[in-house]
Structure 1
């Protein structure tokens, strides 16, 4: 019997495999690409290492890439066949004694099997059960945290980690990473002061905790503190901007702050230097989300859209994750390829017309993904009234298809811009009032207040709002480096 670095017992692993597994968990918590090589090395040392197979499966299944999921399904299927059809009988043909698996390992295997079947919710619940009994299981925490993110469950993003936190102590080398996850959950659940406090502590413990940095950045975004966000990221560029598979996303956050200041040239420079080179779904959706914000403000980026649209077809060839579909449709619309967007939507309509029991993405697509994708196409066609009719009824449940508040704000901004262009002045006023009441220091919100005032014929109020936007933008630039 061996134990991992957090004191948890594991079966089927020799000393060398354990060392690779521990390094893989460390890489995973740091978002380092080396995690895959270390996981593979652990299995090469001990082919019957159950937790090694579980880790490898999570790595493939939590990328939102259909091709990665297929590969993970094949690998984990071979592992299950090696224990003679599952974990319920004795020694399988692969020589792995399924009866020797520990209850925690069996629970992880069940969670992976649920995820392989597309059931995010059951997987998340099983992982929560593991965490309740084994709060120092870093893999269960990290995988569950990602599941909560993919399903947009703010309460669980907070409580899954919060419920385990007292089992971690100051001398734990990964306490900072657990705090970083908790800070993000606090932010998504709206506890901004506490989130900032916990996130800053996480980064103090580990300056290269990119998820902790990301949590602080989200907190500033939600509060409209874009100047603080720019200064925070500028002061830590070496810690977050390279060396991980998360650096592009943090550059996306940097661009959101720069957009608030009105610095479009800086945004496009970062886009061309960093975001345009993305190839994974997570990177492509960041690129699309940024260009879409520019598109809503009338900025034509056709060549950038064209290159981005070219990268999506293979990634969304089959239904897998509705949140990715939305960004693919944005890219097609931005590039003027409405027919490709409509083809994707037609494929998803056929998908939801058939039953897919237990597949979380089916309900995501039906309830949120399709209405949002149809609205984006309607926006591209200039049918702004249809955009409002599609988005307004679902605006308070857009979280159901995953992502963060900051990411989903693209949908809310689309609704607001469509309301303005469709002449739905009362709705536009309500939407802007909601935004300003929550984030009164956002220049974007005040510019939209000016647009509403102009639509209502109040030129004086519009001038005041534009002036306020300018003051806020200038104050945010002060102290931020280029």
Structure 2
């Protein structure tokens, strides 16, 4: 038995296999595109390595697609082959995978936390806890988890930079923007390929309405995310949001075509980047041409998936109001049906809340029924955090709620939402919010300002 790069004992004995395992872990921390390649080679050499098989299954579950469950199930079965000879720490990874496959990711996280109590410097367990909590919308848990293990990471620990990147994002998502920016900058200094820490700082600039500073931060640091898997598209998405806030819509569309949808995958994370950006553009009255058509075709094939409500809601953005009334109705009905049979399955529980109200709101918005859309979307607001993702990602639904309310004449209620949005951002407002306040003010004083663009 040998220790890995983070000082954790493993059941591996072959140096070449250990080297591959170290590369897998570092690749996961850096969101590296080469991590699956290293994992494949490792499992060819060590098919009975329970920890690697379990990690593979967890990675597949994080992809949030129904067809990945079969692969995750196979990984779980393979993890059981060497289970009895595996170390206790390694077995807990397998147990966590089993719980997630049973629809209980929160309990899977608790097993990862059990690992961290005994092995606080296990960087993979730290990252996986962060990743699953992110899917669950547990931002407070993300912060508690990473802060419990901070003291275990000496300055020379190989995972310290990535740990600080996770801390930075958790700080930002819990509203501690100043500390988040400091931690993110330090993370990138310690781990130059830490795209997660880099993007945490981008989130800070988004939340504080400082697009110019955000562009200054990202520009020239492309090497920090060029090595990434599809996470690199998400960083480009952040840059596009900054250009949008500055009114530079031609640059936004150029980034969309050249980087964000460079590879036209149906990965839900790529779809969410694309659909949310196009919707933001349309809310500003910007014509996006035929770009919805490609997304609508892909999303129409996902109406029965039901793995994550976050994914489903972004699929609906590409269907509702796009001449896909039948597909939209099927997806909304499926979400309601899933919600009715949720039981202990956490994904299905999120179909119920916030899923049902949010999905019905998006359908009504696409039909131009803005009063009904506002009613449903406003109802979903209180629990939208449970859909997962970040504040920046969920903000597209906040914007649609606000715009639906303005179009329906619900100005007092919309003002309250804008005030809450400003408070969440530490008192800062972006150009989107300022423009909506101007519209509301003009409507209230009767000056006859131009209304929002209609769908």
TM-score for both structures, normalised by structure 1? 0.88
Tell me, in whole angstroms, the C-alpha distance in 1 between the residues paired with 2:131 and 2:443.
42
Decide which of 281, 289, 305 is 2:268's aligned counterpart: 281
1:33 aligns with 33
What does residue 385 of structure 2 align with? 399
The equivalent residue for 1:259 is: 244
Does the 8 A contact of 2:332 with 2:356 survive in 1?
yes
Identify the residue that residue 111 of structure 2 maps to in structure 1: 126
Q: CA deviation at 1:200?
A: 0.6
Pick the aligned partner of 1:450 from 410, 432, 438: 438
Could you tell me which residue of structure 1 aligns to residue 90 of structure 2? 105
Question: Which structure has the larger Rg over C-alpha atoms?
Answer: 1
TM-aligned CA deviation for residue 336 of structure 1: 2.7
Give yes or no for contact 1:14–1:46 (8 Å, CA) kept in 2. no
Displacement of 1:379: 0.6
Q: What is the CA distance between 1:429 and its match in structure 2?
A: 2.2
CA drift of 1:139 comes to 1.4
Q: Deviations over 1:83-105 (max 9, x none)?
A: xxxxxxxxxxxxx4x44332212
Match of 2:420 among 434, 437, 455: 434
User: Could you tell me which residue of structure 2 aligns to residue 409 of structure 1?
Assistant: 395
For the Cα contact (< 8 Å) 2:303–2:327, is it kept in 1?
no
Shifted more, 17-26 versus 332-341: the winner is: 332-341
Shift of 1:145: 0.5
- Structure 1 position 441, deviation (Å): 4.6
TM-score (norm 2): 0.93
Which residue of 372, 389, 411 maps to 1:386?
372
Aligned residues: 446
Tell me the distance in 2 between the aligned counterparts of 1:239 and 1:105: 31
Contact 2:4 2:10 in 1 (8 A): yes
Offset of residue 13 of structure 1: 4.6
Over residues 299-322 of structure 1, what are the superposed CA-to-partner deviations in whole Å (9 max), with x where a residue is unaligned?
343510111111223444321111
Deviations 1:433-455 (A, max 9, x none): 33445454522111111110111
SS at match of 1:456: helix
Query: What do residues 218-277 of structure 1 show as CA deviations (whole Å, max 9, x unaligned)?
Result: 111111111110111113123324543311000111111111111111111111112223
1:353 matched to 2:323? The reply is no
C-alpha distance in structure 1 between counterparts of 2:338 and 2:344, whole Å: 14
Q: Alpha-carbon deviation of 1:456? A: 0.6
SS of 2:290 mapped into structure 1: helix
Residue aligning to 2:297: 310
CA contact (8 A) 2:73 2:101 kept: yes
Q: In structure 2, list runs of 5 or more residues that go unmatched.
A: 451-455
Give the equivalent residue in structure 2 for 1:319: 306
Task: Write the distance in 2 (CA, Å) between the matches of 1:157 and 1:189.
Answer: 9
**Larger deviation, residues 267-276 vs 7-16:** 7-16
- How many angstroms apart in 2 are the aligned matches of 1:202 and 1:278? 31
Q: Name the counterpart of 2:348.
A: 362
Correspondence 1:336 to 2:323: yes
Distance 2:246 2:222 in 1: 19
**RMSD between aligned alpha carbons?**
1.9
Structure 2 CA distance for partners of 1:351 and 1:435, relative to 1, 3 Å: closer
Contact 1:12-1:50 at 8 Å conserved across structures: no
Unmatched 5+ stretches in structure 1: 83-95, 464-482
Higher mean C-alpha deviation, range 163-172 or range 356-365: 356-365
How far apart, CA to CA, are the structure 1 residues paired with 2:143 and 2:164? 11
Task: Find 1:206's aligned residue among 191, 198, 217.
Answer: 191
Aligned to 1:226: 211
